Every structure is written in structure tokens, then in C-alpha cells.
Structure 1
Amino acid sequence: MMQITTIAKIQVQATPEQREMLNATMSTYRSACNFVSNYIFQTHDLKQFSLNKALYYDLRKRYGLKSQMAQSVFKTVIARYKTILENQHEWIKPNFSKPQYDLVWNRDYSLTQNLFSVNTLSGRVKLPYYSDGMEKYFDHDTYSFGTAKFVKKHGKYFLHIPVTRDILEALDCDVCNVVGVDRGINFVVATYDSKHKSDFVSGKAIKQKRAKYKQLRKELQQRQTPSARRRLKAIGQRENRWMQDVNHQVSKALVESNPKHTLFVLEDLSGIRSVTERVRRKDRYVSVSWSFYDLEQKLKYKAALNESSVITVDPRYTSQTCPVCGHTEKSNRDKKRHVFCCKSCGYTSNDDRIGAMNLYRMGISYLAKDSQVPDTVSPQHV
């Protein structure tokens, strides 16, 4: 058994009076977070016990917070600092500016009679919500709720709820299909499966759109005005949301186009940033910032929900090895033309397809010999 957690973003409705209560609570919560953030930046203290001892009563008196909300403030700020330290490896003081606050399930928010009961500084409010497409998350025999974020965005209110589901972990012996998935820039993904079928998702439109975003950022950076900086931030967020949506669509298509108990085999690209010295300077932005990791994470949890699994393997030579005769040579691959031609047997194909075929073969090797999946790639099928 394994647990899968996703974020359900549920829009709620509020009356004008409820809006005032929610806005006041978000504003106060934000101020309290910045107060605690200033203290942590000065002391470098990230222990909730000692922060409680130093700030708890002052925090409640100064901002009128209830006990549970004060604890949520500590947890929110500590988590933000830990993320910064993990990513930046230095003490950088975060500024809390977004209108939002954290809610603990069954303490700060609950769900009764198709209404969310949400805690505010002035008491609880009961909010109806839009359930279209979200119905499955309200089956509490299947999903359990975690600590949510109440968020205001573009004048609308949302509950971002982590929902967790227990599912049976896919076993190697159950695998009935193997899919090699080669991720790239020319093609977002190129696949090769147990039916000896190849599919491609072109990355051309993505490259063009990201190039436009890059050019726009360059122009705004040159202006160096407050409005340009605000615009830069908005553009960055918009590009990230768009790219995440693309990865959602690609990963969903991969899972839905294959049966349950499929093994997806990907290259381990965790060290891609360390090889930028071998990439032309003008191509480094694209190769380093391409969202390979995000696609992998989305594929993993979608596959798990479909009783399938994902493994990552050593990426070395996957685009240089002939899947027919096994000959490995760097000159087998012509990167400029995106063509693979084996110097030994002459087998020729698209280089991304070759990568997917070799990943497929590695998936076969990973499985037990009595697997239901064919254990060879027949030359007549390649």
C-alpha cells in the first residue's frame, strides 16, 4: 500500500459580509507571518517549541489570533525558511504578501451538508462551493483531507486542499506493458512500447512560446522600472502555470493511452544542470530550464492512480546504442539532423525514438524473466 497526495483547488462562494471577515483574517495572518519571519531572520531559530516560548503570547495579543491559528503561523513561516535554505543554501528573509492563510482539517475547516465551515478571526463562516469535477475528492472513504490554504486570487476565493488516497502499489510481476519514455526538447516525449509502437509529442510550439516569454522578459529587465518588475513576476507565474498545464496534459495522455499495470521507463535526469558546459551557450537556457522534473512527478502520481509504475534508469548511451545489434558509438547519432544510423548494422531511425527503444529494453531487463511482457525487440518490429 502507498499514499498519493494531490492538491484539490476548490472555489468557494462568499457573501459581502463573509468577504470582509475572510479578508481581515488573511491580512492579519499575513502580518503575523511577517512578524515571525523577522524574528527568525534575526535569531536563525527554526524550532517551533522555542518560537512558541518566545512569541506565542505576544503573537496572540498583538494580532488577536486564536491558539490554533498562532500555531499555523509558526508552521507556515518555518516551512518557508526551510524551503529557502534547501534551495538557496543561505538565510534569506521571506516576505509574506499574498492574501492567504492555513487551515487545519476538522479544527479550522470542515465539510458538513455540502458547505465548508471555515474559521476566521470573527467566527466561522459557511461557504458553498463549486463541485464540478471535484466530486471524487469528497468520498472520505477514499480520500482524506490535510491542512489547506485559503487563497484569494483575482477577487475569487479558493481552498487548496491536499487530498491523500491509499492505493495498492504496482508489483513488477503484474506488469503487462512496458513503455520507454524519452524526454527532450525537439519532442516533449517520444515513446516505444511492448506493441512495438512509437508515439511523439512535438515540442516545437512550446519552444516558440517560451522564446517569446524569454524575449519579453529581456525587454522588461532592460527598463528597470517598478511596473516592469511587477510585470516580470506576473509573466514568470503565467509561464509556469502554462508549462505545468502542458505537463499535466502530456502525463495524462501517457497514462490513459496505456493499460493498467504499465511500467514507464524514464531517464534519470537529476544531474542535467551539471552538464551545461557541454551545451552551446545560446541553448543553455532551454536545456536547463525545461521542466523535465515536473513532467516526471506528474507522470509518477498519475501512473500510481492507474495501478502502474515509473522507474528511472541511467541515461548514459541511450541515444548512442543501436537497439537492434547493441553497437554503441557516439557517431551513431547525428544531433543536428536528429537521426540515428548504426555504424555496424546500418539501422536508421529518429534519435529520440532510439532513446525510447533503449529505455524500453532497460525496462524489460529490470523485470523478472517470467514477466508477461515480451523480453526482446525483434528486428522486424523496429
Structure 2
Amino acid sequence: MKLVVQVKLLLKPVQATALQATLRACNEAATWASQIAFEKDVKNNFALRRLTYDEAKARWGLGAQAAQHVIKKTCDAYATLKANLRAGNLGMPGSKRYRKANEKPVAFRPESAQPYDDRMLSWQITERRVSIWTVYGRVKDVAFTAGPEQLATLALYRKGESDLVCRDGMWFLLATCEVPEVPPSTEPVDFLGVDLGIALQKRNTPSAKRRLKKRRRKEARRAKDINHKIAKHVVAEAERTGRGIALENLTGIRERVRLRKPQRATHSSWSFAQLGQFIAYKARRAGVPLVYVDPAYTSRTCAECGHIDKANRVSQAWFACRSCGVVAHADRNGSRNIRARAWELWRRGAESTAPAPPEGTRPGGVGRERSITASDARCASPLT
């Protein structure tokens, strides 16, 4: 199982200057390579390398490994774009958003992340130091800081590439670690149902939007921290009580859910995957079974009598059954339905379906700048 450990670099001014120049050169070269790939319709790594490798090295002063990573990063960006277009994440074919994404070359920001392999980056984990390649030569004795758990994971399981990231003037390395999975040791006695709720922004004034944009990264980090804490608590509770975890299969929910126009932007920016990914990888690491269930009508079904009615959902927060009269918190009722469906699937012989993290995700590290509001997540057991 791949996890990503984030460490913060403690740079001297001259070291920060060298890394800043390196990111700028790599991303300028990647943008140039992207234009070549777009104009000649060459998106294959080896084919694009034949067209750009020598000039990238000579023009931007890149080393052999750096030039190869720049070209591979460019090809990966086009592969990701193609996958998003195919999945409909950028609108329907012919739409303005689709054309805007498809009719121009991919461009890289000056401070976009740059991958490093072990030839370009050397770790001295016990001394908390790294040696890193830059366009000005090798920069040695770069200090970093991380928690004890992160250091232990690095020492035992670090393998593969690391990404150099600059965010808000701070520098980080995101190191890939191959952590062994723990198979479930026993059959679960039951399941915890997790209902992922959405708390939409209420104020939609220009001043609220400006403040939200100004604080977006801080809020994203806060939301991610909350998601990690929720996921850790859910997995720990399931492990302690010998239960599995049930999650909704939210694939395609953006296409299924219809919202009023003022809510669409907030809904589209809500990452349905983040909390689920956090729970999934923590469950796999702890050996806790995980089952995904069909979320259809879980918010309209009474967990007591099974009656399904749209009118049962009297508000965002409350559920009132039109048949048996039971009144409950809507998320708690939904989580009980999720738990019941998971238990029924498991009884029929379903196996744990905790998926591997999608290619390019960073479940244990910084990740991408898309977050969810997780304050509405609820857990249900057969006792609730």
C-alpha cells in the first residue's frame, strides 16, 4: 500500500534561493515541452523525450534525471487531462469548459511540484537531513522536520520518488512509502455505517467570497486535518469493537445530485473522495474490513421500518418517517441504513472492497488542494 509522508524543509536563505530557481527552471521546461507535445500531438513519454530531452538540458541547465522527470511530468499531465475529459469532469464534449481545457497546451505554474528520485535526492533520516539536486549544483545538509511516526515510516518503508513542493513560502518533501497491508484477522461482528454529509456555505455575499478565497488554503489544511482525525477515530473504533466499516459508493454523485444554482459551485468544490480515501487506507493499514454500498435512498429510508418516501426527509438535519412516526437525525438514520446494507452484503459473501488509492493521490500527505467539510460525517452501530 502506497502512503505519502510529508516533511517540512528548514532552509537557509541560499538554499531556498537554489530550490526556487530549480522549480522555476523545471516548470518553464515542462511548459515548453507541453507546447511541443500539443503542437505535434506527441503525448508518449519516450517519443516526447526524443523531441525535447537535449534542448531541455541545454536551455534550462537541467541534469539528465531532472530532464527526464520534466518530460514524464508533462506526459502525466496530459494523461490526467485525458482521463478527466473522458470521465466528464470538465463538462460535456463541445461545452465551453471542455473546449477550454482541450484546445490549448497544459501550462505549469512556476512553483508546481517537481518529482525527485534517489539519484537526485539523498535521505539521512536519523540526522534529519537531505541532499538535493538544484540547477546550482547539489545542496547538502538541508534540515527537515517531521513527527516521530512519520520518521519511523520513512525509515522503514520509504521507496520511490519524492515531490518537492513550495506552498505559501514553505518548502516540503512528499516521500512515497510502501507500507505492508494487514489482512483482516477475524470476521467482523458488525459494521459501522459512515454517512458523508455536506455543509454548504450559507453566506454568498461578495465579501464572504473574497474572505473564503483569501483563506482557501488555510481552510483546506484545516479540513484535511479534520478528515484525518475523523478517519482515525472511525478506524480505531471499528478495530476496538471488532467491526467493519461501511461507506457509500459515491461514484458519479455529481451527475446524480441536482442543486439550486447558488449551491452548485460549493457542491462541485466538495471532494467526496477525500474522507473516504483516508478511511480506506487507514482501514487497510489496520486490517479492518471495508465495504462500499449503494447509497440510493439511504436518506429517504426509515432505518426502523424500511418505509421509503421523499417526504420522510423533512429538512437537511431531520428525518421523520411517514409510516411509523419515528423521528431521528437525518445523518444518523442514513448511517444506520448504510450499516444494514453492508452487513447484508457481507452475509452474502462480499469481501472487503477497500480500494487502492487512485494513481496520483496522496492519502497520507499534503494531497491536492481539494477538500471536504467533514463535520457532518456520522457513524452508526447497531446500538444507535
So what's the TM-score if we normalise by structure 2?
Answer: 0.76
- Check conservation: 1:6, 1:163, Cα contact below 8 A: yes
- Check conservation: 2:118, 2:160, Cα contact below 8 A: no
Distance apart, 1:36 and its partner CA: 0.7
- Check conservation: 2:244, 2:290, Cα contact below 8 A: yes
For these two proteins, the number of residue pairs brought into alignment is 334
Give 1:138's match in structure 2, choosing from 147, 151, 154.
Answer: 154
- The C-alpha deviation readout for 1:20-62, integer Å capped at 9, x for no partner, is 4323322221221121122122122111111121111122121
Distance apart, 1:362 and its partner CA: 1.0
* 3-state SS, counterpart of residue 171 of structure 2: strand
Question: Residue in 1 aligned with 2:278?
Answer: 298
Question: Residue in 2 aligned with 1:340?
Answer: 320
Give 2:256's match in structure 1, choosing from 244, 250, 275.
Answer: 275
* 3-state SS, counterpart of residue 326 of structure 1: coil
Question: Residue in 2 aligned with 1:351?
Answer: 330
- Tell whether 2:31 aligns with 1:34: yes
User: Percent of aligned positions with the same letter in both sequences?
Assistant: 27
* 3-state SS, counterpart of residue 24 of structure 2: helix
- The C-alpha deviation readout for 1:308-330, integer Å capped at 9, x for no partner, is 13322111222333333333333
CA distance in 1, matches of 2:224, 2:215: 14
CA distance in 1, matches of 2:113, 2:303: 54
Distance apart, 1:334 and its partner CA: 2.3
In the TM superposition, what are the counterparts of 1:68-217 in structure 2 within 5 Å?
68-87=65-84, 88=90, 90-99=102-111, 102-112=114-124, 114=127, 115-126=129-140, 127-133=142-148, 134-140=150-156, 143-170=157-184, 174-185=187-198, 203=199, 207=200, 210-211=201-202, 214-216=204-206
- Check conservation: 2:111, 2:166, Cα contact below 8 A: yes
The AA in structure 1 aligned to 2:29 is A
* 3-state SS, counterpart of residue 205 of structure 2: helix
- Tell whether 2:290 aligns with 1:310: yes
The AA in structure 2 aligned to 1:270 is T
Distance apart, 1:101 and its partner CA: 5.4
Distance apart, 1:300 and its partner CA: 1.0
Question: Residue in 1 aligned with 2:356?
Answer: none
CA distance in 1, matches of 2:70, 2:239: 44
CA distance in 2, matches of 1:179, 1:217: 40
Distance apart, 1:262 and its partner CA: 3.3
Question: Residue in 1 aligned with 2:93?
Answer: none
User: Kindly tell me: are residues 37 and 98 of structure 1, through their superposed partners in 2, closer, same or farther at Cα, counting changes over 3 Å?
Assistant: same
CA distance in 1, matches of 2:238, 2:119: 41
User: Kindly tell me: are residues 93 and 243 of structure 1, through their superposed partners in 2, closer, same or farther at Cα, counting changes over 3 Å?
Assistant: farther
- Tell whether 2:244 aligns with 1:263: yes
Larger strand proportion, structure 1 or 2? 1
- Tell whether 2:344 aligns with 1:365: yes
CA distance in 2, matches of 1:351, 1:153: 38
Give 2:41's match in structure 1, choosing from 31, 39, 44.
Answer: 44
User: Kindly tell me: are residues 24 and 183 of structure 1, through their superposed partners in 2, closer, same or farther at Cα, counting changes over 3 Å?
Assistant: closer
Distance apart, 1:365 and its partner CA: 0.8
Distance apart, 1:103 and its partner CA: 4.2
Q: Where does structure 2 lack aligned partners over 5 or more consecutive residues?
A: 85-89, 91-97, 351-380
Give 2:59's match in structure 1, choosing from 48, 62, 65.
Answer: 62
User: Kindly tell me: are residues 347 and 218 of structure 1, through their superposed partners in 2, closer, same or farther at Cα, counting changes over 3 Å?
Assistant: closer
The AA in structure 2 aligned to 1:42 is E
Question: Residue in 2 aligned with 1:200?
Answer: none
CA distance in 2, matches of 1:107, 1:237: 32
* 3-state SS, counterpart of residue 323 of structure 1: coil
CA distance in 2, matches of 1:364, 1:150: 43
The AA in structure 1 aligned to 2:243 is T
- Check conservation: 1:276, 1:288, Cα contact below 8 A: no
The AA in structure 1 aligned to 2:252 is G
Q: Which has the higher contact order (CA 8 A, sep 6+)?
A: 2
- The C-alpha deviation readout for 1:180-216, integer Å capped at 9, x for no partner, is 112223xxxxxxxxxxxxxxxxx5xxx4xx445x534
* 3-state SS, counterpart of residue 180 of structure 2: strand
- The C-alpha deviation readout for 1:327-375, integer Å capped at 9, x for no partner, is 33334432367222251x443322322211111111211223799xxxx
* 3-state SS, counterpart of residue 106 of structure 1: coil
- Check conservation: 1:41, 1:92, Cα contact below 8 A: yes
The AA in structure 2 aligned to 1:249 is K
User: Kindly tell me: are residues 6 and 341 of structure 1, through their superposed partners in 2, closer, same or farther at Cα, counting changes over 3 Å?
Assistant: same
- Check conservation: 1:84, 1:91, Cα contact below 8 A: no
- Check conservation: 2:292, 2:342, Cα contact below 8 A: no
Q: Where does structure 1 lack aligned partners over 5 or more consecutive residues?
A: 186-202, 221-230, 372-376
CA distance in 1, matches of 2:232, 2:53: 45
CA distance in 1, matches of 2:168, 2:270: 28
CA distance in 1, matches of 2:212, 2:79: 26
